[in-house]
Amino acid sequence: MNDYTGAAFLLAIAAPIVSSIINLITQEIKFRRESHLLHKTEIIEDYVRYTGAYLRYEKNGNENYGAAYGKVLLYVPSEIADRIIELNSIIAPFVENQNREKAAQLFDEICILLSMQLKKRKHKRKSKGYTYV
């Protein structure tokens, strides 16, 4: 057996193994990205849910709002975070009805911005050939 035959034999055995390893690594990276995106989406949805409940005086809204408020700031762009912080400064004291109305209006604007942010992420994922669930 000459050197070329031996090399060809080794490549014939190694190529599918290397290909499988690369495929597994690629799938793992894709899974982690999609999991991270899903996690961010869940945090944003929790913020919207608990802030809405807090604005409507629902039971336990205050406890859940505080946790959701802290988490959402980790994942949103700074321009949306600034609006969320502004809303929090309005609803934190929450004494007068006019604050409630102003807070509700700002909350609606934030929800629209968050929705646009989530749609933008979905679009980026689809344009790169990834599916988003």
Label residue 3 left, alpha or beta by phi (over 0 means left) and psi (-120 to 50 means alpha): alpha
- State the DSSP string of 44-78: HHHHHHHHHHHHTT-TTHHHHHHHHHHHHTTTS-H
Model confidence pLDDT, tens digit, residues 31-87: 998 888 889 889 999 999 988 888 877 655 667 887 888 888 888 888 888 888 888
Residue 1 pLDDT grade (very low, low, confident, very high; cuts 50, 70, 90): low
The dihedral of CA 32, 133, 37, 126: what is its sign?
positive
Boundaries of every domain in the chain:
37-127
Note the pTM of the prediction, 2 decimals: 0.60
